[in-house]
Amino acid sequence: QVQLVESGGGLVQSGGSLRLSCAASGNIVSINAMGWYRQAPGKERELVAHIASGGRTNYADSVKGRFTISRDNAKNTVYLQMNSLKPEDTAVYYCNAENVIYVHGSSWYGPVDHWGQGTLVTVSS
């Protein structure tokens, strides 16, 4: 079994910063890419930032220059440093791990995508 556990959300004033973390646990053999998505009330889930296993990154236009995604492959952990936060960044942020291959018992599973439970980020004006 694989679990993604996010942390670091909370309430911050406009212009402030937060750092989100997402750790994948389980008998993981490999993870292809990892990413952060967000969903604001009444809106669809959207990609915020994405990082491939080799480190290549891409960002939503709305967060370029303000957010930075990074990952620690040895720890199966991805981070999202969010600076200069705006009220429109308010959303539930979800971590995603793509094409995860893992072992459970004596069997191999995957590749399959996994999602975290989400962490709420609220930016006050």
Distance separating alpha carbons of residues 100 and 88, to the nearest angstrom: 31
pLDDT band at 91 (very low <50, low <70, confident <90, very high): very high
According to the model, what pLDDT value does residue 61 have?
Answer: 98
pLDDT tens-digit series, residues 92-103: 999 999 999 999
Distance separating alpha carbons of residues 47 and 20, to the nearest angstrom: 15
- Summary count for the chain: helices (H), strands (E): 0, 12
pLDDT tens-digit series, residues 43-89: 999 999 999 999 999 999 999 999 999 999 999 999 999 999 999 99
pLDDT tens-digit series, residues 102-121: 999 999 999 999 999 999 99
Q: Could you tell me the two tokens for 25?
A: 């646990």
Average pLDDT estimate for 21-31: 96
> What percent helix, strand, coil does the chain show, rounded to 5?
5, 60, 30
Q: Which of 121, 115, 118 is nearest to 34 (CA)?
A: 115
According to the model, what pLDDT value does residue 117 have?
Answer: 96
According to the model, what pLDDT value does residue 66 have?
Answer: 98
75 three-state secondary structure:
helix
